[in-house]
Amino acid sequence: MKDAIHNVQQEIANYTLANIQDTEKFRIEFLGSKGKIKDLFGLLKSVPNEEKKQVGQTLNELRILAEEKWNQAKAQFENTSTKSEGIDLTRTPEDALIGSRHPLSLVRSEIIELFNRIGFTVSEGPEIEDDWHNFSALNFPPEHPARDMQDTFFIQKGEKEMALRTHTSSVQVRVMENSKPPIRTISPGRVYRNEAISARAHCFFHQVEGLYIDENVSFADLKQTLLYFAKEMFGEKAEIRLRPSYFPFTEPSAEVDVSCTICNAKGCNVCKYSGWLEILGCGMVDPNVLEASGIDSKKYTGFAFGMGIERIAQLKYRVNDLRLYSENDVRFLNQFTPGV
C-alpha cells in the first residue's frame, strides 16, 4: 500500500502541465471519480486496523498535493488564456440586439397618443359580435341593403348567429349603452371582412374609430378635429378635403382625403396624379343610432370617424403592399428597429 502511494506521489510530482487541456487530463487521472487517488482510498479497507489511521492521513496529504497542483495550474492557464484573447473585462458590454415594434403597433400608438392630447379615451370590445352591436344598433335593419356593403364572416354559436366584427363601431355602441354624454372615445382594434387577399386588401385589418357626443357638437368640430389629426400625423403642410358619402350610422357623411405626402400634392402614381389620398370616413352620428343606445337625440349630437391603421401606415412609411404587414418577413420588420 505504501509503495502504491509513493508511486502515485512520484507521478503527480513528475506530471507536466503545459496547457489547460493537460490540467483537465490531470484532474481526471488523479482526482476524478475513477482516478488513482480514489482507487487508493478504496484499498484502505484492506489495510490492518492499526495502520489505517496513518495510511488515511497519508492519502489525504496526497489528495491535497494533487489538488494544489491542479488549482495552481488551472489559475495560471485561465489568466494566460484571457490575456492572450485580448479580452478587457473592464469594458462596457456591447449593446444586445433588440427586436422592433411592428409598424402597425407604432402607428396605432401614435394615433392613440394624438387623440389622447385632445381628451379622447380608449375603449375596447370583443372581436366576435352579435347582430345588434355590429349591425342593428348602427342603423342596419335586417332588410337594409347597406348590410351588403360589407362581406361578413358569420359564426354559429349554438342557436345564435354571431359575426367577426366588420368595424370597431360595435365598441362605440357598447360605450353609448353604458355611458352618459359627454362621450369622447376612440376604439382601436382588429376587424374582419371576407375579401380576397391582395396588395390592396386583406381579410383582416386594423381600425381606429372615434366618437364624440355632447350638446351642440357640430360638423365644424368634426372637421377641425380631423385637420388637427392630419397635421400632427403627416406634417404641418398637410391639408384635408371632405367629399359627400354615405354610411348608415352617420348623416351627413363624408370621405376624407389628405394631401399626398409622397409627391407633396403635385401628383404621382400613388395618389393617381390627383394630389389627394383617401384616409378615413366620417359624419354626424345619425339620431337613430343615438336613440338605439338610449341617448336623447334632441339634446345631444355627435360625430364619428373611422380610419384603417394599415392605410395610415402605408402613407407614413410608403408601404405598397398590405400583405407585408402580416407575413412576418424579418427583412421588412427590421426596417423599424430603433437606430437602424
Residue 340: which pLDDT band, with cuts at 50, 70 and 90? Answer: very low
* pLDDT greater than 70 at residue 119: yes
**Residue 187 maps to which CATH number?**
3.30.930.10
> Is cis: bond before 248, omega within 30 of 0?
no
For residue 157, give the C-alpha cell. 354559436
Instruction: Assess whether 155 and 296 both reside in one domain.
Output: yes
Instruction: Assess whether 155 and 211 both reside in one domain.
Output: yes
Instruction: Assess whether 138 and 42 both reside in one domain.
Output: no
Residue 210: which pLDDT band, with cuts at 50, 70 and 90? Answer: very high
Instruction: Assess whether 56 and 113 both reside in one domain.
Output: no
Instruction: Assess whether 75 and 107 both reside in one domain.
Output: no
Report pLDDT for 174. 94
Instruction: Assess whether 116 and 54 both reside in one domain.
Output: no
Long-range contact pairs involving 75-83 (C-beta distance under 8 Å, separation at least 24)? 77/17, 77/19, 77/20, 77/23, 78/20, 81/20
Burial 299-318 (b: 16+ CB within 10 A, else e): ebbbbbbbbbbbbbbbbeee
- Proportion of the chain above pLDDT 70, given as a percent: 92
Report pLDDT for 147. 66
Instruction: Assess whether 80 and 166 both reside in one domain.
Output: no
Instruction: State pLDDT tens for residues 319-330.
Output: 878 888 888 888
Instruction: Assess whether 36 and 180 both reside in one domain.
Output: no
Instruction: State pLDDT tens for residues 211-242.
Output: 999 999 999 999 999 999 999 998 888 899 99
Instruction: Assess whether 16 and 121 both reside in one domain.
Output: no
* pLDDT greater than 50 at residue 192: yes
Count of the separate structural domains present in the chain: 2
Q: Is residue 155 part of a domain?
A: yes
Report pLDDT for 243. 95
Q: How many C-beta neighbours within 10 Å does residue 109 have?
A: 12
Q: Is residue 97 part of a domain?
A: no
Report pLDDT for 292. 92
Q: Is residue 185 part of a domain?
A: yes
Q: Is residue 90 part of a domain?
A: no
Instruction: Assess whether 163 and 196 both reside in one domain.
Output: yes
Mean pLDDT (the chain) is 85
Q: Which helix (H) or strand (E) holds 191?
A: strand 183-192
Instruction: Assess whether 58 and 167 both reside in one domain.
Output: no
Instruction: Assess whether 164 and 255 both reside in one domain.
Output: yes
Report pLDDT for 84. 47
* pLDDT greater than 90 at residue 55: no
Calculate mean pLDDT across residues 6-33. 83
Number of residues that make up the chain: 340
Where is the domain boundary, 84, 114, 141? 84
| Domain containing residue 258 | 103-336
